[in-house]
């Protein structure tokens, strides 16, 4: 039986990263599912592929050899998928895009308007999801190009940074922090449960990494919500702060339904990145044009 593409991708990522958990995150699996899939691959091939220890995971001699072979198979599979996607979109005059929530709600509408003005016959489909799901959609071929806001770039994809974004802390007008001219310290923010997106969100990951890098890993969120609008409304009406993109709260700050809270000695800047699959055939014309529009800051 031939191993699945996902199993081979997981093996290659595990060898490259030296960690099953990091490899699982890169291919969109839970750690438990990844461990089970690697064990099944070892049974299928009849040999041990990985050696696990307290210091991480390393390949056996056979594992390193299989991972080398797998990388060649994955390159060929990626080229095939990208070529088929290009053919399908050229034939049907369509362009499928995936974008993280912040980008989909605040930046993508301008891009799509510009694209439609140039090519009204082009059917553009936009899917909004968290950054992790966007990368998975591009990797699987469900989207020709993706736009993410996470500081952790997905493995196995081409990428280009087209801008940056700042995360800010916001609270409702009646929150105790709203009246603090000096804002809050990193320590106080980190120990305060916030309203946050689900795991896999670029916004959440950027905040957690920045706070942890400053020496103050944040406590678990008070609430996990699946949309930016729900987080804004909850922060405005409730007792919990939120950490959101400045792009997502400009209107609320201007209307004073939310108040920006300065955080002393902490500024969170994250990259905005386009991602797409590697292909010797090159990018479809519609994707190339979209990237030009994005790069021009339309």
Which of 48 and 90 is assigned the larger pLDDT? 48
pLDDT digits (tens, 9 = 90+) for 55-79: 788 899 998 999 888 888 887 777 6
Q: What is the mean pLDDT of the chain?
A: 89
- Which residue intervals of the chain bear CATH 3.40.190.290? 164-270
The answer to pTM > 0.85 is: no
Q: Tell me the pLDDT band of 170, cut-offs 50, 70 and 90.
A: very high
pLDDT at 41 over 60: yes
pLDDT value for 155: 82
8 Å CB contact between 80 and 63: no
The pairing of strands 94-100 and 123-129 is parallel
pLDDT digits (tens, 9 = 90+) for 180-230: 989 999 999 999 999 998 888 899 999 999 999 999 999 999 999 988 999
pLDDT at 3 over 90: no
pLDDT digits (tens, 9 = 90+) for 96-132: 999 999 999 999 999 999 999 998 888 999 999 999 8
CATH number belonging to domain 5-77: 1.10.10.10
Closest Cα partner for 131 from 161, 96, 102?
102
Token duo for residue 8:
């081979």
Section 245-273 average pLDDT: 94
pLDDT value for 91: 47
For the CA atoms of 190, 271, 6, 76, the dihedral, rounded to the nearest 10 degrees, stands at: -160
Q: Where are the beta strands (DSSP E) in the chain?
A: 50-53, 56-59, 94-100, 123-129, 145-148, 157-172, 195-196, 223-224, 242-245, 258-261, 268-277
8 Å CB contact between 42 and 49: yes
pLDDT value for 280: 63
- DSSP conformation class of 154: P
Q: Tell me the pLDDT band of 298, cut-offs 50, 70 and 90.
A: low
Architecture of domain 84-163+271-295: 3-Layer(aba) Sandwich (3.40)
Architecture of domain 164-270: 3-Layer(aba) Sandwich (3.40)
pLDDT value for 279: 74
Separation of alpha carbons 17 and 164, rounded Å: 27
- Which residue intervals of the chain bear CATH 1.10.10.10? 5-77
- DSSP conformation class of 176: G
DSSP string for residues in 207-243: HHHHHHHTT-PPPPPSEE-S-HHHHHHHHHHSS--EE
Separation of alpha carbons 118 and 168, rounded Å: 35
Query: Number of helices (H) and strands (E), helices first, in the chain?
Result: 12, 11
């Amino acid at each position: 039986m031939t191993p699945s593409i996902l199993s081979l991708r997981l093996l290659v990522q595990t060898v490259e990263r030296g960690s099953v958990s990091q490899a699982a995150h890169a291919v969109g699996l839970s750690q438990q599912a990844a461990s089970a899939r690697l064990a099944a691959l070892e049974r299928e091939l009849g040999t041990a592929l990985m050696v696990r220890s307290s210091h991480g995971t390393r390949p056996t001699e056979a594992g390193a050899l299989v991972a080398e072979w797998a990388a060649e198979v994955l390159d060929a599979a990626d080229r095939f998928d990208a070529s088929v996607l290009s053919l399908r979109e050229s034939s049907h005059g369509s362009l499928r895009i995936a974008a993280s929530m912040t980008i989909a709600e605040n930046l993508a509408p301008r891009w799509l308007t510009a694209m439609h003005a140039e090519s009204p016959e082009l059917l553009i489909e936009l899917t909004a999801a968290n950054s992790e799901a966007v990368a998975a959609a591009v990797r699987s071929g469900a989207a020709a190009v993706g736009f993410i806001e996470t500081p952790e770039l997905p493995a196995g994809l081409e990428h280009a940074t087209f801008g940056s974004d700042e995360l800010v802390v916001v609270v409702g007008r009646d929150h105790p922090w709203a009246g603090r001219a000096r804002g809050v310290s990193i320590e106080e923010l980190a120990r305060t449960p916030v309203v946050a997106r689900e795991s896999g969100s670029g916004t959440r990951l950027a905040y957690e990494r920045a706070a942890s890098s400053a020496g103050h890993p944040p406590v678990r969120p008070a609430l996990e919500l699946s949309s930016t609008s729900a987080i804004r409304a909850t922060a405005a009406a409730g007792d919990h702060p939120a950490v959101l993109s400045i792009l997502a709260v400009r209107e609320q700050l201007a209307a004073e339904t939310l108040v920006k809270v300065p955080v002393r000695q902490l500024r969170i800047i994250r990259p905005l990145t386009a991602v797409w699959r590697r292909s010797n055939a090159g990018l479809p014309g519609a994707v190339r044009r979209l990237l030009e529009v994005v790069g021009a800051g339309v």
